[in-house]
Homo-oligomer: A and B are copies of this chain.
Amino acid sequence: METRVTRLLGIEKPVLQGGMAWVSEGRLAAAVSNAGGLGIIACGAAEPEWVEEQVKLARSLTDKPIGCNVMMMSPYVAQIAPMLAELKVDVITTGAGSPSDYIPIWKEAGCKVVPVIPSAALAKRMERIGADAVVAEGCESGGHIGELTTMALIPAVCEAVSIPVIAAGGIADGRGLLAAFALGAEGVQMGTRFLASEECRVAQAYKDKVVAAKDSDTIVTGRAGGHPVRQLKNAFARKVKAAESESGAAEELVLAGSLRRAVEGDVTGGSMMAGQIACLVKEQKTCKQIIDDLFEQVEAWSGLSLQQMADRNASRSWFCGEGGE
């Protein structure tokens, strides 16, 4: 299949792996790109040297396009942004601020620019300053989140802009992908599903928690301080929550280093960022298996009429892969 997203990004399948700070580095990105999607290295607040290393690592592992996610509030953004242009990284996604200062140099270098946005107004602004597409991310996703859910956000953004809309938040299998396309998306981005992939660097204990999570196992901290973060419930998250209800918004300090601790295996004292859709992630797989299974489901369910979907749903016959059947 071909959508504007596959053509724009030069990929086989309209699936992006979400940039996850401390989590998605060169090896994961290369694995996703090799499987036909777009792998994305998260720059987070990392130093330029690390980012360059990861880009080179990914390039040594794949000849497919790769992406980098730039966190605009990174202390190194002024060095990283031009470096990505020099490295001619195929796709640059951005978050936590406006990429307007860097869009000209990125586009001149041939990089595609795809900001991650939480509302129609920001999507419009990004289109106006030259974005090639947007990732519209619903608040069911893991990590830093906005207010709108994927169900409301995708159609609202699609009505606001003409560039392709890639849906993120709440997508882990064929049902989610088809729902996203029903809402107007031309591609999807998944983070949590790839968090529990073989190639992901996070500690096995963290992956195990993602695989074991039920629907109500995530919690949002930081709302009071204006920087809400979704993560799996654990002792750490409960401590932050308790601190919040006492002092209002002291969570920012507590958070520093907490994700890194979880990535390294501290599933009690670290922040295990993950989306609500962890409830549908039931086994650890390779990135190739994740993408192959996704499109196997999609092929089986694509083209069903409403009546056929209702019949399928009544028999729960969409149980397949992911521990079902």
Contacts and interface: CB of A to CB of B under 8 A. Distances in A.
Interface residues of A, number: 72
Interface in A12-32: 14
Given A171-B151, A277-B152, A303-B304, A313 B158 contact: yes
A318 interface: yes
Given A183-B176, A245-B224, A313-B186, A215 B149 contact: no
A159 B321 CA distance: 13
A197 to B, nearest CB: 19
A316 B162 contact: yes
A273 to B, nearest CB: 15
B150 A3 contact: no
Q: Which of A156, A165, A185, A223 has the most CB of B within 10 A?
A: A156
A298 interface: yes
A223 B119 CA distance: 22
A152 B306 contact: no
Interface string A283-311: 00000000000000010011111111110
A314 B139 contact: no
A184 B178 contact: no
B148 A306 contact: no
A266 B189 CA distance: 42
A310 B3 contact: yes
Given A3-B314, A158-B316, A184-B313, A151 B176 contact: yes
Interface in A171-209: 171, 173, 175-186
Contact of A169 (B151, B280, B305, B306): B151
A151 B170 contact: yes
A4 interface: yes
A153 interface: yes
A279 interface: yes
B138 A149 contact: yes
Given A1-B310, A151-B176, A151-B276, 19 more contacts: A3-B307, A4-B310, A120-B216, A120-B279, A121-B215, A140-B148, A148-B276, A149-B151, A149-B276, A151-B171, A151-B277, A156-B215, A156-B279, A156-B280, A179-B180, A179-B182, A185-B313, A186-B310, A224-B245
